Amino acid sequence: MGMERIGSQTFRSLSEKVGQFRLTGKKVLIPQMNRIGGHLLAGTFRSFGVQAQVMETYRGLGLGKEFTSGKECFPCQVTTGDILLHMKEEKEKLGPAFDSRNYIYFMPEADGPCRFGMYNKYQRIVLDSFPELQDIKIGALTSKNAYSLDGMLDEKRTRSFRKAGYFSVVVADVLDRLLWKTRPYERERGAADAFIEKAMTKMADAFEAYGAVLDFDRILAELEGLIEEAKALMDPSIPPKPLIGMVGEIYLRTHVQSNQNVIRVIEKYGGEVVNASIAEWVNYTSYDRKREERIGFRRSLKQFRIRPTVEHLRKMLGYGVDLSYQQMRQNQVYRRAKAHLDLAEDHRLDRLESALLEDDLYSFDVGTEACLSISGILEYVRHGFNGVVNVYPFTCMPSTITSSIVKPIMNRMKIPYLDAPYDGSYQPGREACIRTFMYQAQQHSNKQKRKSQSAL
Chain centroid to CA 47:
22
Question: Which CB atom, from 106 or from 385, has the smaller least distance to ligand SF4?
Answer: 106
End-to-end CA distance of the chain: 67
Q: Work out whether 396 is an interface residue with ligand SF4 (CB under 6 A).
A: yes
208 or 369: whose CB is closer to ligand SF4? 369
Stretch in the footprint of ligand SF4 (CB under 6 A) among 40-48, 95-103, 109-117, 264-272:
109-117
Q: Does 78 bind ligand SF4 (CB under 6 A)?
A: no
CB of 179 to ligand SF4, least distance (A): 25
Secondary structure letter of residue 140 according to DSSP:
-
When asked if residue 421 is in the footprint of ligand SF4 (CB under 6 A), the reply is no
**Which region among 28-36, 153-161, 393-401, 447-455 touches ligand SF4 (by CB under 6 A)?**
393-401
Task: Say whether residue 397 binds ligand SF4 (CB under 6 A).
Answer: yes
Buried b (16+ CB within 10 A) or exposed e, 92-117: eeeeeeeebeebbbbbbbbebebbbb
Cβ–Cβ under 8 Å, residues 18 and 121 = yes
Nearest to 270 by CA among 418, 132, 394, 441: 441
Q: With CB under 6 A, what is the number of residues at the site for ligand SF4? A: 11
Query: By CB under 6 A, is residue 248 in contact with ligand SF4?
Result: no
| Residue 220 found at the interface with ligand SF4 (CB under 6 A) | no
Which amino acid type is present at position 127? Answer: L
Residue of 105, 119, 109, 113 whose CA lies nearest to 145: 109
Does 271 bind ligand SF4 (CB under 6 A)? Our answer is no
Q: Crossing angle for the helix pair 370-382 and 278-302, nearest 10 degrees? A: 120
Q: Which residues contact 423 (CB under 8 A, 6 or more apart)?
A: 74, 393, 394, 395
114 contacts ligand SF4 (rule: CB under 6 A) = yes
Residue 393 sits in the site that holds ligand SF4 (CB under 6 A):
yes
Residues comprising the chain, all counted: 456
Nearer to ligand SF4, 91 or 253 (CB): 253
Judged by CB under 6 A, which of 75, 139, 245, 421 binds ligand SF4? 75
The answer to the question of residue 398 lying near ligand SF4 (CB under 6 A) is yes
Binding site for ligand SF4 (CB under 6 A): 73, 75, 114-116, 249, 369, 393, 396-398
